[in-house]
Amino acid sequence: MGSRHSHTGTPAQAGKPARALAAPWARISFGLVMLGLAAWGTPFPAPGRAQEPAPQAPSPDAASKPETAASENLPATSKIITRVEVVNVPVTVLDRRGRPVIDLNREDFEIYEDGEPQTIRYFSREIRQPLRIGLVLDTSNSARRALQFEKDAASEFVFNMLQGRSSNNQIFLQTFDATSSIIQDFTNDPQVLNEKILELKAGGGKALYDAIYFACKEKMIKSGPPANTRRILVLVSDGRDVASEHTIEEAIAMARRAETLIYTIDNTSYGYANPAQKILERLAAETGGAAQDPLEVTPGADLGTGYLSHGQIGETSQNKGLGAETGIFSATRLMQLADSLEAIGRELNEQYSIGYTPKNDTLDGKFRAIRVEARRKGVSVRAKPGYFAAAE
């Protein structure tokens, strides 16, 4: 297990007041104190009331990031209100071939909370919230043969998401077998992550649900206000679990509380059925992410793609898994895993940002279900499934 750190502190205690001043000076001092308190209290919005934008037409820059402008100069405590007053929803739209659709406008979307239509107040094609990504790799005994491919593909993913950027995105690395370990905390340094990835070794049982629960509770919830970040777990595993103390329902509930989308990549070899694939699909579907199965389609005869079936090279068993031990399909397997991670990265870089003020603005701690629809035909929409209306 990775080390955990907690930092606690208490405000400095004020000393006992001095003897009362002369009456005139006391009144002046009291007036100045009250004036200062009034000035400090001005930025805080009244609980349960939305901050309506000014009636004048805003500038393009201001319109594209109202939540940023509203929160930059506020004390941290005011962000409790922001979570309910402005709900930020990163949205992915894909065509029938799984490619991002990036030419939609505000009027092309409809958004619902608990089945009730909401008014879109903020819209942008250029999403600005930085990514907080948890890269979670299966290092159990069952993943031993696939681990080298996972490591190579993960290294490429890290460089693609962090290299050449403004360092706003951050990734942490977690592995799991019978237990979960944070190998590297959040960082924007791809070289540091790459060095840790190359050192990974396989061994032990498999506690998948515990790994998700741990990542969301210990890392994602503590990664900053969800209104200001996009939280993503990228899970590479076959979906099997034999050692978790938590259930899949508890893992999904914690991911929802952390407002974290789970993207899964099935690392099962060609030719092998994977009953646990449905687990990966459920984890993705119920958190707003996506399930990738890069090795689902058996390689065919198209030499241009680098695919060859066993029968085409003299192997008569079409059902044999194409694992690393054959030495023939290693490049294809690595390419497929890398392509899946690249597709996730591309999707995260081509999202819309939609914001709305919920009609039900009560901080009651309940889960509010979100549904986003696009009016354009032939597209699919992915977004977080909801949020908890809680003051944290």
> Where are the alpha helices (H) located in the chain, listed in sequence order?
23-41, 60-64, 66-71, 79-85, 147-162, 190-198, 208-215, 248-257, 277-285, 330-349
194-223 pLDDT, tens per residue?
999 999 999 889 999 999 999 999 999 999
pTM for the structure as a whole: 0.70
> What's the CA gap between 146 and 268, in Å, rounded?
8
Instruction: Tell me the C-alpha distance between 256 and 252, whole Å.
Output: 6
CA 347 vs CA 7, 35, 102, 350, 382: distances in Å: 36, 50, 10, 5, 10
Q: Identify the CA nearest to 81 among candidates 385, 358, 287.
A: 358
Pairing of strands 352-356, 87-94: antiparallel
Q: Which sequence spans correspond to the domains of the chain?
A: 65-126+356-388, 131-349
The whole-angstrom separation of Cα 223 and Cα 231 is 8
Q: Do 384 and 259 touch, CB atoms closer than 8 A? A: yes
- Residue range 1-40, pLDDT digits in tens: 444 444 444 444 444 444 443 444 344 444 433 434 333 3
Is the pLDDT at 161 greater than 70? The verdict is: yes
> How far is CA 181 from each of CA 177, 328, 385, rounded to the nearest angstrom?
9, 33, 28
Residue with tokens 């790459």: 194
131-349 fold: Rossmann fold (3.40.50)
Determine the average pLDDT of the residues in 333-355: 87
Q: With contact defined as beta carbons under 8 Å apart, do 71 and 79 qualify?
A: yes
**Strand 230-237 with 131-138, pairing:** parallel
Neighbours of 240 (CB within 10 A): 18
Band of the pLDDT at 146, cuts 50, 70, 90? Answer: confident
**How large is the average pLDDT for residues 253-265?**
95
Encode pLDDT of 262-316 as tens digits: 999 998 866 667 889 999 999 999 999 999 887 665 444 333 333 333 333 334 3
Angle among Cα 360, 363, 367 to the nearest 5 degrees reads 75
Higher-scoring residue by pLDDT: 226, 323: 226
